[in-house]
Amino acid sequence: MNSFIAIDFETANENRNSICQVAIAIVENNVVIDSKDWLIRPKELRFSPINVYKHGITLDHVKHSAEFPEIWQEIKPLINGNIVIAHNASFDMYVLRDVLQLYALELPQFNFWCTYLAAKQKLQLAKNTLPSVCLHYGINLSNHHNARYDAIACAEIAIKLGTPFKLRNFPIEIEPTKDFSNPFKIKKADLSGIEIYDLSENLSQQTFFGKNVVVTGTFNEISRSKAEEYVIRMGAKLASSINSKTSLLVMGENAGPSKIEKIKELNKTAFVPIIDEKEFLEVIEALGLN
């Protein structure tokens, strides 16, 4: 197999049919010859803060965009009868099926395969996420969770992996999938009821870049000033106080009660992930900054 289509979706909220961006990468003779992406106006104009944090797409970005049926007229001829791939294909295939059913559109016929499952079987990495497999193969993934960049990266992974180990038929052979509306796993909850998140599944060079980050609490393995230095090196904007512009919190032990209350209040209206020192050090190591 040396010619196929890679596809990637981003969604506005927890509903799989709430597509706000779709992208494809076209491969011929094991070369990515073209890529396209479209911003899409979801039928339900509701954006979950946790989804916005993941991909950065908001209502303002899509309010004048076409809805899915119009974009589908461009995509359908490219994938119908073709081989389609995705990284974690169960999610993407469910997204496609659900949005087609939402608009009562005819389901296309094509075979698909999953680079996530193929990498899991062939590479035996500790993690088989898109950033992890890209890192293994030296594939540049400069903007994870932008559908176009993810589709291209998926295509390049497929080229590296070679012949797929299993082709499945859309839509009848979609494997059951978990709810992927929350892109971050909860790692633990501390005594103050703050949820600590695991960023490793979504780790990329963009994890901190451009984010407004607050570092607080006491650190054991490194000094707080060193933690702040790493934050700046990752391209983040270091801030001293928590407010509506805060987008990520690195929290050591014994964080001040006032900061904890502020983050709880902020998380009522916006998603602000919090990571602990151990998770922060894992991020630094994964990005090769230590």
23: β partners: 8, 37
Give dist(CA 279, CA 271) in Å, integer. Answer: 18
> Taking Cα atoms as reference points, which of 277, 243, 269, 253 lies closest to residue 192?
253
Residues 19 and 152 in one domain: yes
User: Residue 234 — pLDDT band, cuts 50, 70, 90?
Assistant: confident
Q: Percent of the chain having pLDDT more than 70?
A: 86
Is residue 31 in a domain?
Answer: yes
Over residues 149-179, the pLDDT tens digits come to 999 999 999 999 987 667 899 987 776 654 4
For residue 99, is pLDDT > 90? yes
Which amino acid belongs to residue 147?
Answer: A
Residue from 12, 125, 129, 101 nearest 59 by CA: 12
Look up the domain containing 42 and give its range. Answer: 4-170
177 occurs within a structural domain = no
CATH of the domain at 201: 3.40.50.10190
Q: Are residues 165 and 198 in the same domain?
A: no
- What does the pLDDT look like over 77-98, one tens digit per residue? 999 999 999 999 989 999 999 9
Residue of higher predicted confidence among 256 and 249: 249
pLDDT value at 21 more than 80: yes
Q: Render pLDDT for 38-82 as a digit per residue (tens, 0 to 9).
A: 999 999 999 987 788 788 899 999 999 999 999 999 999 999 999
What is the rounded average pLDDT of the residues 241-269?
78
With a CB cutoff of 8 Å and minimum separation 6, the contacts of 257 are 192
Q: Is pTM beyond 0.85 here?
A: no
100 plus 204 within the same structural domain: no
**pLDDT value of position 180:** 46
98 and 219 both lie in a single domain: no
Taking only the tens place, the pLDDT of each residue in 186-232 is 555 454 555 555 565 565 556 787 888 989 888 888 988 899 998 89
Domain end point (choices 139, 170, 201): 170
Q: Is the pLDDT of residue 288 over 90?
A: no
- Tell me 210's DSSP state: T
Q: How would you write 32-62 as a 3-class SS string? A: EEEEEEEECCCCCCCCCHHHHHHHCCCHHHH
Q: Looking at the 3D structure of the chain, how many domains does it have? A: 2
Contact 37, 65 (CB under 8 A): no
Q: Across the chain, how many H-helices and E-strands are there?
A: 10, 12
Same domain? For 18 and 153 the reply is yes
- What integer pLDDT is reported at residue 155 of this predicted model? 96
Q: Are 184 and 50 in contact (CB under 8 A)?
A: yes
Residue 179: inside a domain, yes or no? no
Is residue 107 domain-shared with residue 190, that is, in the same domain?
A: no
Residue 176 placed within a domain: no
